[in-house]
Amino acid sequence: MIDIKSLKRIHFIGVGGIGISYLAHYFLRQGAVVSGSDLAQTQVTDQLAARGAILFQGHDAENVPQDADLVVANDAVPADNQERLKAAELKIPVMSNFELVGLISENYQTIAVAGNKGKTTTSAMIAIILEAAGCDPTGMIGSIVNEWKCNFRQGQSDYLVIEADEYKEHFLQIKTNKAVITNMAADHLDYFGDEQGVIDAFQKFVDQLPANGTLIINQDDELIKKLQRPNCNIITFGINNTADIVAEDFETINNRQFFSVRHHHNELGRFSLVFPGKFNVYNALAAIGTCLDLGVGIKKVQQGLADFKGTWRRFQIIGPYKGATVISDYAHHPVAVHGTLEAAQDFYSGQRLVAVFQSHTRHRTKSLFKDFVASLDPADVIIIPEIFEVSGREVMPQEEMNSQMLVDAIKERDSQHGRERIVLNGGDLSQTKVLIDKHVQAKDILLFMGAGNIYQLAESLI
């Protein structure tokens, strides 16, 4: 067993990954010598370098320090990676970033936020509220939190707020005291196989909670209802009267949404968010339930949510382009895509919605094909670039699933419903840019969605 407090020199392979870079930040703050490699220089790697990390662009056996105590690699790094092989030659222990997170979590009162959607926003909300309330948490979030300009915050208390990734059951590594489940959906079916596989994984996650732990769950979610509830404190939230914490009386005023909250029929007051969408209300309810359970005063919770500035690529307003408003969002599951488009409709009523959607992996696209086709219904113009391929996860040939198939199916659906709109195959990102320039108009909402590199095109426009 590795004693993380004894680690003096650590090397990270793929250090620019959002789920691994916060570990590099963590050990830099602990005074360790941190080195790492990645294929590209990014904002994330620049920030690590500015804080003292020794970084290399590209992978090479010579990057691995001979006196390293530990080498950390994520799932995307293959077994034959030069640096992994060099670590084995030097007899340096190699650990996944998820295993290392698990070891770190043993030293904290850990609040782990899981769910197929919303876990980044919810974990950031909780951390920001706790920070504002003077609880001084450590935060490890799966995106850049705008208030921190980083995905990591070092706190001095024993609270750790962390995003818990369900893919390949990575969240089972975390020693959790309080677990939040925002929602569940049939996703990552390349690993889970089917919906039951997803349920089984989340069941294992909640079953790990101690008897004195707390589970905060979405009462309105159909898959969460299929979980056997563990023997611990349970708090439910939702937008119906059966939950412990309920949101109601919604309204949108000047691009801010407002709602009232009740806790066991006691009025907690009026809350507001600068972000649209019922899904963000659910995220806020999860944060409210968690923070109340931790003893945070309701005024601090209200203020923390009202001031919360969000995270990178979660309905992130990039800026104007040719008179249109450019928004970048991470949505890559049909439910999230549809919810994001509906939220944009709500916030920007009467304005034309141009959706640039990059699907993420051919396997996911095929598994949820009909749902993806229907998810884009709220858009007025649709441009679909080539499907984003993930190294090591793409096992399906292009001819079996591609963006043109999505375009054809959307057009067929429109025809069946007597609807006419522009639906285009975007090709590569440079071709997509040409189509955007041809079709975007002043006052449009130009919404880029996907978990791949589509955000680069959005950001390049500004």
284 and 302 in a single domain? The answer is: yes
Among 173, 127, 175, 179, smallest CA distance to 153 is for: 127
Q: What is the pLDDT of residues 9-51, one digit of tens each?
A: 999 999 998 889 999 999 999 999 999 999 888 889 999 999 9
Q: How many whole angstroms separate alpha carbon 179 and alpha carbon 162? A: 10
What are the φ and ψ backbone dihedral angles of 146, each rounded to 5 degrees? -60, -35
Compute the average pLDDT of residues 94-106. Answer: 96
Residues of the domain holding 374: 316-460
Pick the last residue of a domain from 70, 96, 122.
Answer: 96
Whether 101 maps to a domain, the answer reads: no
pLDDT averaged over the chain? 94
Q: What is the CATH number of the domain that holds 124?
A: 3.40.1190.10
Where is average pLDDT lowest: 211-215, 312-316, 421-425?
312-316
Residues linked to residue 353 through DSSP beta bridges, in sequence order? 445
- Judge contact between 297 and 133, C-beta under 8 A: yes
Q: How many whole angstroms separate alpha carbon 332 and alpha carbon 355? A: 13
Q: Is 157 left (phi over 0), alpha (psi -120 to 50) or beta?
A: beta
Compute the average pLDDT of residues 241-263. Answer: 93
190 and 63 in a single domain? The answer is: no
91 and 113 in a single domain? The answer is: no
- Judge contact between 22 and 47, C-beta under 8 A: no
300 and 320 in a single domain? The answer is: no
Whether 103 maps to a domain, the answer reads: no
65 and 115 in a single domain? The answer is: no
Whether 207 maps to a domain, the answer reads: yes
End-to-end CA distance of the chain: 49
User: Sign (positive/negative) of CA torsion 15, 16, 17, 23?
Assistant: positive
What are the φ and ψ backbone dihedral angles of 371, each rounded to 5 degrees? -65, -40
- Residue 410's pLDDT is 97
Q: How many whole angstroms separate alpha carbon 310 and alpha carbon 128? A: 10
Does the pLDDT at position 187 exceed 90? Answer: no
Q: How many whole angstroms separate alpha carbon 250 and alpha carbon 259? A: 5
Pick the last residue of a domain from 307, 334, 362.
Answer: 307
174 and 263 in a single domain? The answer is: yes
Radius of gyration of the chain (CA): 22
Does the pLDDT at position 405 exceed 70? Answer: yes
Helix (H) or strand (E) run with residue 128 in it: helix 119-132
Percent above pLDDT 70 for the chain: 99
Q: What is the CATH number of the domain that holds 424?
A: 3.90.190.20
Among 371, 203, 198, 221, smallest CA distance to 282 is for: 221
119 and 224 in a single domain? The answer is: yes
The contacts of residue 95 (CB under 8 Å, 6+ apart) are: 2, 70, 71, 72, 73
Residue at 132: amino acid letter: A
- Residue 99's pLDDT is 95
Of 253 and 433, which is predicted with more confidence? Answer: 433
Whether 245 maps to a domain, the answer reads: yes
**Helix, coil or strand: residue 212:** coil
378 and 303 in a single domain? The answer is: no
Q: What is the pLDDT of residues 338-394, one digit of tens each?
A: 989 998 998 898 999 999 999 999 988 999 999 999 999 999 999 999 999 876 666
* Residue at token pair 């109601």: 248
Whether 428 maps to a domain, the answer reads: yes
Give me the sheet containing 109-114, strands edge to edge.
150-153, 138-145, 159-163, 109-114, 178-181, 214-218, 233-238, 245-253, 256-263, 266-273
In 74-224, the DSSP E strands lie at 94-96, 109-114, 138-145, 150-153, 159-163, 178-181, 214-218
Of 350 and 136, which is predicted with more confidence? Answer: 136
159 and 280 in a single domain? The answer is: yes
Whether 102 maps to a domain, the answer reads: no
Tokens of 262: 């009740």
Structural domains in the chain (count): 3
Whether 424 maps to a domain, the answer reads: yes
Compute the average pLDDT of residues 175-191. Answer: 91
Confidence of residue 204 (pLDDT cuts 50, 70, 90): very high
303 and 328 in a single domain? The answer is: no
- Judge contact between 159 and 322, C-beta under 8 A: no
83 and 123 in a single domain? The answer is: no
Compute the average pLDDT of residues 195-210. Answer: 96
112 and 240 in a single domain? The answer is: yes
Q: What is the CATH number of the domain that holds 34?
A: 3.40.50.720
Of these ranges, 206-220, 242-256, 336-350, the one predicted with the greatest mean pLDDT is 206-220
Does the pLDDT at position 139 exceed 90? Answer: yes
Pick the last residue of a domain from 96, 126, 143.
Answer: 96
Does the pLDDT at position 395 exceed 90? Answer: no
Length of the chain as a residue count: 462
Compute the average pLDDT of residues 106-117. Answer: 96
Give me the sheet containing 381-385, strands edge to edge.
316-321, 324-329, 445-449, 353-357, 381-385, 422-427
Q: What is the pLDDT of residues 406-441, one digit of tens each?
A: 999 999 999 999 999 999 999 999 999 999 999 999
Of 389 and 228, which is predicted with more confidence? Answer: 228
Provide the H-helix boundaries in 329-402. 334-347, 362-367, 369-375
Compute the average pLDDT of residues 244-271. Answer: 93
Q: How many whole angstroms separate alpha carbon 158 and alpha carbon 120? A: 21
Count the Cβ atoms, other than its own, within 10 Å of residue 261: 25
The contacts of residue 1 (CB under 8 Å, 6+ apart) are: none
Confidence of residue 133 (pLDDT cuts 50, 70, 90): very high
Whether 206 maps to a domain, the answer reads: yes
pTM: 0.86
- Judge contact between 403 and 423, C-beta under 8 A: no
Does the pLDDT at position 238 exceed 90? Answer: yes
